[in-house]
Amino acid sequence: MSRTFSLDEVSKHNSPSSCWVIISNKVYDVTEFLSAHPGGAKIILKYAGKDATAAYEPIHPPDALDKNLPREKHLGSLDSAAASAVKEAAQNRRKTQDELRVAAAHAAKLPLSRMLSLWDIEDVARKVLSYKALAYYASAADEETTDRENCRAFSRFFFHPRVMRPVSQCDPSTTILGFKSSIPVFVSGAALARLGHPLGEANITRGAGRAGIIQMVSSNASLSYAQIAEARVGPQQPLFFQLYKHQDDRIAEERVREIISLGYKAIFLTVDAIVAGNRERDIRAPFELEEQEREADKAADSTDKSKGSPDMPAKQEKEESGNVNLLGTAGALIANDDLDMTWERTIPWLRSITKLPIVVKGVQCVEDAVLAAEAGVDGILISNHGGRQLEYALPSIEVLYRIRKQRPDVFDKLEVYIDGGVRRGTDVLKALCLGAKAVGMGRPFLYAQSAYGEEGVVKAVDILEREIVRAMRLMGVSNVKQLVPQMVERVDWQPILSRL
């Protein structure tokens, strides 16, 4: 690693036969890695012989190169002239239209104190997120029906509120796998937080720690698991781990052992995302963004012909578009995951390498809830991955409702959680009435940290806590144990939603 390189030298390795890239002033030979890159060779070759830092950083944890690229391919560092040149080029780079839009949106956003609901925060986030980030965060499968229906399903559950019950003392806290949570809500695993904010997952970790709720950390986080563990507000802050199991058991085991050693407290084995869902908004994003920039450039060029060219070239659409990456971001993230997990094989394997509680994330029907209980896991998370995987998976709250109706015994055998479509304290309470121990939320915390960083996460929990306590009181309930199935009714009409 002591060798240094000039830009000139690096720039000669600009082809599939010899492909070097610069990331944070270090030089890597990725020639042999090209074919193994889950995101495809093409995106790397775009930066062959050049600096790739800006594109690389937001979607890879810092330890990714250490974990995936043999030591001998870490060639060395840029010499100081090269480092300066790279730095200067980055600074002088003409901002894209999208970057300008984002900067303006950040400048104009309302202060955090004006956020009354998670919808308010989402509205801000949708304005301040880059096109690419929003496409990744918001996208869902096919026509995004299950995503939309996740939300709409909650609206069919109404309360039977009770009156004349003492509620001045009202405690919304609960435990999840034995760990205390200030409200019955946890952060569901959500990848690539750095797409939305430079500090990424650490915002969520610190915010959750301060607010007293638990974060489930995605295998596909954009910070390393260690960095996230270090971001905790204290060593007692519990973290859960969302395990995407590698198809190679040994690699998977390595990942598990890593998070055990970092002090993570439970494993959420992800079974609803063994292949990537068809997230067309995400897949289309690069093309639509290119077209936007091209349009903007055209307009700009016609008024001002003196400026330099932006980063993204206007040429060659026809040829390039021949290679649409149909997997999208998600596909790249999970390209090597295990497609052949089974109750019989995978649970015992996981039990054999850890004593941590095991939760199966992605149960989507009554039958599998029963099988999970029989397999002896500690919990299930009813989840359709935010509608991002199988289009026309039943909305999560509907699956919960069916378990309550058909197999209430499941709730005695393990803890049941749900995620998908939760936006309000009343949503949380509906799930708890039906038997959920807690409710996961993913996108809302990504939006909160994107818009307002760590403070946004604290605020989101604060909003939820106020909503939960108020609704508990208005339901005549002073602690979560009093939330029972008799207090909700699934109605036979579809309310009109003012959001959606």
DSSP E strand stretches across 204-334 = 214-218, 239-243, 266-270
264-303 binders of a second copy (CB under 8 A) = 271-272, 274-278, 280, 283-284, 287
326-365 binders of a second copy (CB under 8 A) = 326, 339-343, 346, 360, 362-365
Of the residues 35, 91, 92, 113, which one makes contact with a second copy according to CB under 8 A = 113
Whether 462 is catalytic:
no
Q: Which of 28, 47, 225, 244 is catalytic?
A: 244
Q: What is the spatial distance between Cα 133 and Cα 126, in angstroms, rounded to a whole number?
A: 9
Count of CB atoms within 10 A of residue 76's CB? 13
Determine if residue 453 is left, alpha or beta; phi over 0 gives left, psi from -120 to 50 gives alpha, anything else beta. left
- Contact criterion met (CB below 8 Å) for 211 and 459: no
212-241 binders of a second copy (CB under 8 A) = none
* C-beta of 333 vs 360, nearer to a second copy: 360
Checking 306-311 for CB contacts under 8 A at 24+ apart, the result is 307/94, 308/94, 309/94, 310/93, 310/94, 310/95, 310/96, 311/93, 311/94, 311/96
Of the residues 24, 31, 68, 145, which one makes contact with a second copy according to CB under 8 A = 145
Whether 60 is catalytic:
no
* C-beta of 132 vs 424, nearer to a second copy: 424
Q: What is the spatial distance between Cα 155 and Cα 397, in angstroms, rounded to a whole number?
A: 10
* SS3 of residue 397 by DSSP: helix
What contacts 320, CB < 8 A, 6 or more positions away? none
* C-beta of 72 vs 344, nearer to a second copy: 344
Of the residues 25, 53, 158, 210, which one makes contact with a second copy according to CB under 8 A = 158
* Contact flag: residue 152 with a second copy (CB under 8 A): yes
* C-beta of 1 vs 339, nearer to a second copy: 339
* Contact flag: residue 139 with a second copy (CB under 8 A): no
Q: What is the spatial distance between Cα 332 and Cα 314, in angstroms, rounded to a whole number?
A: 26
* Contact flag: residue 475 with a second copy (CB under 8 A): yes
* Contact flag: residue 324 with a second copy (CB under 8 A): yes
Whether 244 is catalytic:
yes
Of the residues 470, 479, 482, 485, which one makes contact with a second copy according to CB under 8 A = 470
Of the residues 17, 71, 92, 111, which one makes contact with a second copy according to CB under 8 A = 111
**Which pair of tokens denotes residue 466?**
């106020």
* Contact flag: residue 455 with a second copy (CB under 8 A): no
Of the residues 216, 393, 436, 464, which one makes contact with a second copy according to CB under 8 A = 393
- Contact criterion met (CB below 8 Å) for 346 and 54: no
* C-beta of 144 vs 454, nearer to a second copy: 144
* Degrees to nearest 5, angle at CA 499 with 145 and 443: 65
Radius of gyration of the chain (CA): 24
* C-beta of 209 vs 286, nearer to a second copy: 286
Shortest distance in whole angstroms from residue 44 CB to a second copy:
20
Shortest distance in whole angstroms from residue 251 CB to a second copy:
16
Which sequence positions are flagged as catalytic?
244, 272, 385
